A and B are shown apart, each in its own frame.
Chain A
Amino acid sequence: MSREKILAAIKANQPEKTDLPDLDILNALTATEGSLVQQYTTIASAGGSFVYEVADFEAIKSILQKEFKPGVKIISGIKELKDYTFAEDVAHELAHSFADVELAILPSYLGVAENGALWLTETQMNVRVLPFISQHLAVVINRNDLMPTMAQAYDKIGNADYGYGAFISGPSKTADIEQSLVIGAHGPRSLSVFILT
C-alpha cells in the first residue's frame, strides 16, 4: 500500500522535531489602530469593490434600486431585504439553476480591514455556488464585525464548524493577459459592500 510506504519514508526522513512558534508577539504587533471602517474602505476600493457606509436597510434598498433594473433575478440571504427572492426558499434547488442570477445579496459577520476580505460560510451563502455564479454580489456587514488583520479574523472564527467557507475580497478578476487587470473573470463582475454604521 502506498499509504504505508509513503508514511514510512516520511518517518525515516523527517528531521528532528522543532516546536511551533508563538504567534502572540506577531499578532500583538499586527493589531492596528485607527478607524477600521476607513482602512477597510481604502483597501477594498483599491481591490475593485464598491464600499458604502449605510445607516439602515432602507439605504441599501435605494442604492440597489438605482443599480439594478426591476425584473432581473435577485436573491437575498438577508431577511430585512425581502423584496427579493429569499435565499432560504430556493436553497434546495440545483446549483445550476442559479446560472441566471443577476445579483446575490448575502450577509457577512466578519470582515478584515487589512485586505478587504469578507468571511462567509455556507450558512450565509445558502448555496455554495451562489456568490460565485451571480453576475454581481453585494455583502452586508456591521461595522463592529470588522477586524484589523487575518490574525484576529482567525481568532474570531476559532474552531467553528462549517462545511465550506470563503474569504471574498472583491469582484472576480484576472491579470493573465499582459498583466492588465480585468474585472469579471468567471465570478461576479462587481462586489458592493454595505457597512451598517
Chain B
Amino acid sequence: MSNVTGKSHPELAADFNKDEPRVDWHDETLWWVRAKRDIAAHKLPEWELLRETASQIKHNVLSNLYTYLQQFEANAQKNGVVVHWAADAAEHNQIVHKLLSDKGINRMVKSKSMLTEECHLNEYLKEHGIDVIDSDLGERIVQLAGEPPSHIVLPCIHKKKEEIGDIFHEHLGSAKGESDPKILTETARQHLREVFLTRRAALTGVNFAVAETGEFVICTNEGNADMGAHLAEIHIASMGFEKIIPERKHLGVFLRLLTRSATGQPITTYSSHFKKPQEGREIHIVIVDNGRSIQLGREDFRNSLKCIRCGACMNTCPVYRKSGGHSYHTAIAGPIGSILAPNLDMKKYADLPFASTLCGSCSNVCPVKINIHEQLYAWRQVIVKEGYSPASKTAAMKAMAFTLSSPVLYRSAGKMGRVVFKYAPFAVNNKLNPWYKHREMPKAPEQSFGEWYSKRKEGQN
C-alpha cells in the first residue's frame, strides 16, 4: 500500500517503537523464525552448493530472459493457457478487470500475490465494483483490518492474537474476547469455505514458471490457492517476468531452498503445478514488467530480480525486526524491498536504502545469494548523487563532508566530539542530531586517533 501518511521510514519506525514490549515481541518472533531457518539449512550438508546453484540458475535466467519468456509463452499456449503481457501496474489491473467484466463477474477470491499488492489491484477492482477476498489467513486478517501485509510470507506478523480476535468478532461473528488461534482459524475456515464455493473467479500469484513446459508452480501451506483455482471457472495467475526458471528439474533446487529459508519447513504443504486448464475452464497468465526491465538494465541492482520471496532477509534484519514491515511504506518490506522500491520511484523511496545497518546478515541468509547489503550501499550512492537524499540525512552529511574536507576542522571536531560525549551526552542525544537516532553512538575513546598517532610517533623518536 502506498505511503498514505507521507512519512519516511525513520518516522514510521519511531511510531512503531512507541510500544516497546510490542517491538520486543516482534523482534523475538522473527528471530525465532530465523533460528528455524538455520536449523533446517544446517541439516543439509550441501546447503551452500544448493544456494550457489540456485544463484547461477537465476543468473542464467536473467541473461536469457528474452528467449525463456517467449518459450514459456509458446508452451503455455500449447497447453491451452492464455498469456497476457502488462507493461505496468495499470495495464495489469485493466487486464484482470476486463477478464472479469467480460464474464459478468463481480466477486473474486485471491490467494497470496505480492505482485497484486505492488499493483494495488484490490483498490482498483473495488473502485470498479468488484469485491476481492484474500484467502490466505494472514492476508484475510490484514484485509479485514484495512491494512497492507507487513511481511511477504507472514502478512500479519505484527498483530497480536487478541487484536485478531477483535477483528474476527467484528467481521466474522466470533465470540467476543476469543483469541485462541485454533478457534480463530476454524472461524476463518468456515467463512472462507463459503467464499471458495461461491466465487467464479480466482486469482493467484506464481512462485515459479517453467519455460521448458509452460507450467507454473504455486506454494502454500493452507491449500487456499488450490481451493480457489479448482473451484473457479477462470483462474488468473499474475507473475512478474523474473519468475521464470528454465527447466522442470530446476524446481527441485528451488523447492528445496524456498521454505527452509522462509520458515524452516522442508517444503510447503502444497506445491501445485498448473499446466493445463480443467475441461471447460480457463487459465490466464498475466506477465508483468512494471519496472523490472529497467532494473534488469541496472548492473548494480539486477541481481535483486533473482529474489524468490522467501522473506529470510526480513526475518534476520535487525532494522526490520525493530521497525516493523509497515515502516517501509512499500508492498515488499525489508532489505530486498528497499532495493526494489527505489527502482520504481527513487524520490519516494529514497529513505529505504538507508534503513539498514549494512551488517550483511541478509546477504548471508539469502537462498539465491543476492548481495543485498552491497546493493543497499550502492543505492545510497546513487540516491545521494541524484540529489534525492532523505532530508534527515542531508544536513548531517553536509556537515560531515565539510568537516572531512578540512584537516583542521576534522582534528578539532574529533577532540570536541569526545568532550561533548563525555560531559554532555544530552547534547548528542537530542532531536537536532539526526545521526544519533539511527546509530548506537560509540563510547568516546580516551584520546583521538590523531592524538594517539602523534604520541606514538613521539615515543618512537
Chain A positions within 8 Å of B, measured between CB atoms, are 1-3, 5-7, 9-21, 23, 25-26, 29-30, 43, 47, 95-96, 99, 112, 114-117, 128-129, 132-133, 149-151, 153-155, 157, 159, 161-180, 182, 184-188
Contacts of A162 in B (CB 8 A): 273, 275
A167 & B267 in contact (Cβ 8 Å cutoff)? yes
Is B141 in the interface zone, CB < 8 Å from A?
A: yes
Against A, the Cβ 8 Å flags (1 = close, 0 = not) of B119-156 are: 00000000000000001111001000000000000111
Beyond A155-B249, A176-B141, 9 additional contacts (C-beta under 8 Å) are: A5-B87, A10-B66, A14-B62, A18-B63, A21-B52, A99-B193, A172-B269, A178-B181, A186-B193
Contacts of A114 in B (CB 8 A): 256, 266
Against A, the Cβ 8 Å flags (1 = close, 0 = not) of B210-241 are: 00010000000111101100110000000001
Q: How far is the CA of A173 from the CA of B277 in the complex (A)?
A: 26
B227 & A186 in contact (Cβ 8 Å cutoff)? yes
Q: How far is the CA of A18 from the CA of B61 in the complex (A)?
A: 9
Q: How far is the CA of A121 from the CA of B355 in the complex (A)?
A: 45
Is B458 in the interface zone, CB < 8 Å from A?
A: no
B46 & A26 in contact (Cβ 8 Å cutoff)? yes
Q: How far is the CA of A185 from the CA of B265 in the complex (A)?
A: 17
Could you tell me the distance in whole angstroms from the C-beta of A29 to the nearest C-beta in chain B? 4
Contacts of B270 in A (CB 8 A): 132, 166-169, 172, 187
Against A, the Cβ 8 Å flags (1 = close, 0 = not) of B178-189 are: 000110111011
Q: When A115-B266, A187-B227 are in contact, do A20 and B246 touch as well, CB less than 8 Å?
A: yes
Q: When A15-B62, A95-B231 are in contact, do A21 and B271 touch as well, CB less than 8 Å?
A: no
Give me the 9 closest cross-chain CB pairs, A-B, nearest first.
A187-B223, A13-B297, A115-B266, A176-B138, A9-B293, A185-B222, A129-B230, A163-B276, A177-B181
Look across to chain B and name the residue whose beta carbon is closest to the beta carbon of A127: B230
Q: How far is the CA of A7 from the CA of B53 in the complex (A)?
A: 26
Q: How far is the CA of A174 from the CA of B86 in the complex (A)?
A: 32
Look across to chain A and name the residue whose beta carbon is closest to the beta carbon of B43: A114
Task: Give which listed residue, A13, A19, A25, A170, contacts B60 with CB less than 8 A.
Answer: A19
Contacts of B193 in A (CB 8 A): 99, 186
Q: When A21-B56, A166-B273 are in contact, do A14 and B222 touch as well, CB less than 8 Å?
A: no
Contacts of A11 in B (CB 8 A): 66
A29 & B185 in contact (Cβ 8 Å cutoff)? no
Is B377 in the interface zone, CB < 8 Å from A?
A: no
Total B residues in contact with A, Cβ cutoff 8 Å = 91
Could you tell me the distance in whole angstroms from the C-beta of B77 to the nearest C-beta in chain A? 12
Is B440 in the interface zone, CB < 8 Å from A?
A: no
Q: How far is the CA of A154 from the CA of B196 in the complex (A)?
A: 31
A16 & B49 in contact (Cβ 8 Å cutoff)? no
Could you tell me the distance in whole angstroms from the C-beta of B13 to the nearest C-beta in chain A? 22
A177 & B154 in contact (Cβ 8 Å cutoff)? no
Could you tell me the distance in whole angstroms from the C-beta of B142 to the nearest C-beta in chain A? 10
A6 & B293 in contact (Cβ 8 Å cutoff)? yes
27 contacts between A and B (CB under 8 A): A9-B297, A10-B293, A13-B293, A18-B60, A20-B246, A21-B57, A23-B252, A30-B46, A47-B269, A95-B231, A115-B267, A128-B230, A133-B231, A150-B251, A163-B276, A164-B273, A168-B269, A169-B270, A170-B269, A173-B269, A176-B136, A176-B154, A182-B185, A185-B222, A186-B189, A186-B196, A186-B227
Contacts of B161 in A (CB 8 A): 177-178, 180
A176 & B272 in contact (Cβ 8 Å cutoff)? no
Is B1 in the interface zone, CB < 8 Å from A?
A: no
Task: Give which listed residue, A17, A149, A154, A187, contacts B249 with CB less than 8 A.
Answer: A154
Q: When A26-B53, A149-B256 are in contact, do A163 and B275 touch as well, CB less than 8 Å?
A: yes
Q: How far is the CA of A93 from the CA of B69 in the complex (A)?
A: 36
Q: How far is the CA of A180 from the CA of B154 in the complex (A)?
A: 12
Task: Give which listed residue, B46, B222, B251, B275, contacts A174 with CB less than 8 A.
Answer: B222
Q: How far is the CA of A18 from the CA of B182 in the complex (A)?
A: 49
Could you tell me the distance in whole angstroms from the C-beta of A137 to the nearest C-beta in chain B? 10
Could you tell me the distance in whole angstroms from the C-beta of A103 to the nearest C-beta in chain B? 16
Q: When A153-B252, A169-B269 are in contact, do A177 and B86 touch as well, CB less than 8 Å?
A: no
Contacts of A170 in B (CB 8 A): 269
B249 & A23 in contact (Cβ 8 Å cutoff)? yes
Contacts of A13 in B (CB 8 A): 293-294, 296-297, 302
Is B357 in the interface zone, CB < 8 Å from A?
A: no
Contacts of A179 in B (CB 8 A): 29, 32-33, 154, 157
B56 & A20 in contact (Cβ 8 Å cutoff)? yes
Against A, the Cβ 8 Å flags (1 = close, 0 = not) of B253-294 are: 101100000010111111111111110000000010100011
A187 & B222 in contact (Cβ 8 Å cutoff)? yes
